[in-house]
Structure 1
């Protein structure tokens, strides 16, 4: 069965790169550019992994994770938060994210995290 990965970032270039990097015969990727639409898409898709930026307009990534952690349906959804600001790593930990990626990152680091979280 294919893994479903939802990615949310307000930077279309990063979103496109991540989609191209992660989409393959083992996974379907659902890119989302508007954070205010993300929760509805997560409800609809029921992803295996969520990857999102912290600093976005409308809803920040950490606010989204907090909301997911308080829901019955998505409380255990593996989440990778990303940010270009290294100090955001603490925010990722405090809100309940499973992992943090500091931008810019190597795709191999992303692949390792996705593989690790998909095995849970």
Structure 2
């Protein structure tokens, strides 16, 4: 069965690369480039997993994840946070992310995490 994955990042190149990598693994991939649109997208799509950049304009990934975790409907969606920040892992942990990937990362590492979290 295909997994629905939402990827939220303000970098168009990262969105394109992740879309190609994840679609090759037979997944439905939805791209969101504006952080303020992610909650509405999650409501509409009801994803199995979310890939979320930490540092974005308008709303940070941390703000978004805290909002998701406060929602009974969305609190259990696995979230992988991504960042090039040296504090990224600490931020992801504090917000309740299920996993963290430091940018740049190997696509194989991402795919392993998606598979692991998508089976839960």
Unpaired segments ≥5 residues, structure 2: none
Query: Gapped runs of 5+ residues in structure 1?
Result: none
Q: Which residue of 1 aligns with 2:6?
A: 6
**Which range is displaced more, 107-116 or 17-26?**
17-26
Residue 88 of structure 1, CA deviation: 1.4
SS in 2 for 1:66: helix
Shift of 1:24: 3.5
Structure 1 runs, 4 residues or longer, greater than 3 Å off: none
Secondary structure in structure 2 of the residue aligned to 1:74: coil
TM-score by length of 2: 0.97
Identify the residue that residue 69 of structure 1 maps to in structure 2: 69
Determine the structure 2 residue equivalent to 1:47.
47
User: When the two structures are superposed, what TM-score results if normalisation uses the length of structure 1?
Assistant: 0.97
RMSD: 0.9
Q: Deviations over 1:26-69 (max 9, x none)?
A: 31000010111110000000000000100000111011110000
How many residue pairs get aligned? The number is 120
Shift of 1:25: 6.1
**Using the alignment, how far apart are the partners of 1:49 and 1:30 within structure 2?**
11
